[in-house]
Amino acid sequence: MSKIESALAKARARGMQLASSAGTRKAGTDLVPAPGRSLADRQSREAAAAVALRKMEEPWLLDQQNLAERQIIYSGMADARAAMAFRDLRTKILQAARENCTIMVTSCAKGRDSAVIATNLAVSFSLDDSKTAVLVNCDLGAPFIDRLVPSADERGITDYLRSASVRLEQIIHPVGLPRLRVIPAGKTQDHMAEYFTLAKMSQLLSELRARHADRYVVMNAPPIYDSADTRVLVELADYVVLVVPYGCVTESQVTNAAKMIGDKKLLGAVFSDMPSLPGGRRGVLGWLARLAGVGLVPSRNMSISGKS
């Protein structure tokens, strides 16, 4: 067992245990509606979702070269290991969540790793033609996700939270991928402002999910140690995925990050930027292929393994 896996195990021993499929969250701590819908209700929701999906027409689509340049997974990749790793993570989230949910991605250290992983996690949901995803850039100092939006002048989450005149429709942007929408950081940014403590942020997440019965919201957050915003966003998310940059953090850093997230939220850890195996193949998506070298380490009662 590696040091980081050992650290996660120690955190689990302090009370980290995934609620069983029959379990429920404490009232007021979960944005997911209570289970127990009737068959007729579920069928009605599924029919409404199918109609809504048909209305999500894309003004344009990125080709495979553009997807590769943006480090985005896609169906039919020559090296499918990265796509399979993200689909594994998506499957575990679907198993943990009764309905659509909000997932936050954060990291133990600075870097763009969490933004790339958050992006591809959202893409993995949208690759399922029965689901939609919204990727929300809550890391105001990180441009990776914002670059997916064609115009740098587009409004984003900070504009919406600061102004009562900005409508939700004005901050949700197509990015050339079916069933995926992106909310960028926004033009109006005051890095000292406490945007995410507003009740409007919680309402925003609820409304994003309510628009489609099978919509999944993925938030990219700043590193857990560097921002009070991230600790606020933990409270707003249903689940959290912790990115562990390979070889860049200590055992105690991972353990402390797990404690800060808490036992009810943390789904697991993703090792990023793994070194290639001897003789391993590196193409234009080599960075993502390395992500799949070890893959995902469960923090609780999960059995995710990496693809080699």
* 267 or 160, higher pLDDT: 160
The token pair at 48 is 């409404």
Q: What is the pLDDT of residues 264-291, one digit of tens each?
A: 899 888 887 655 544 443 332 344 434 4
**Mean pLDDT in residue range 224-250:** 89
**Mean pLDDT in residue range 201-228:** 91
**Mean pLDDT in residue range 14-30:** 35
Q: How confident is the model at residue 44 (pLDDT cuts 50, 70, 90)?
A: low
Q: How confident is the model at residue 77 (pLDDT cuts 50, 70, 90)?
A: confident
Percent of the chain topping pLDDT 90: 35
Q: What is the pLDDT of residues 100-143, one digit of tens each?
A: 899 999 999 887 789 999 999 999 999 998 899 999 999 988 88
Confidence (pLDDT) at 236 = 95
Q: Is the pLDDT reported for residue 226 higher than 70?
A: yes
Q: What is the pTM of this model?
A: 0.75
Confidence (pLDDT) at 20 = 34
CATH class, range 3-15+45-298: alpha beta
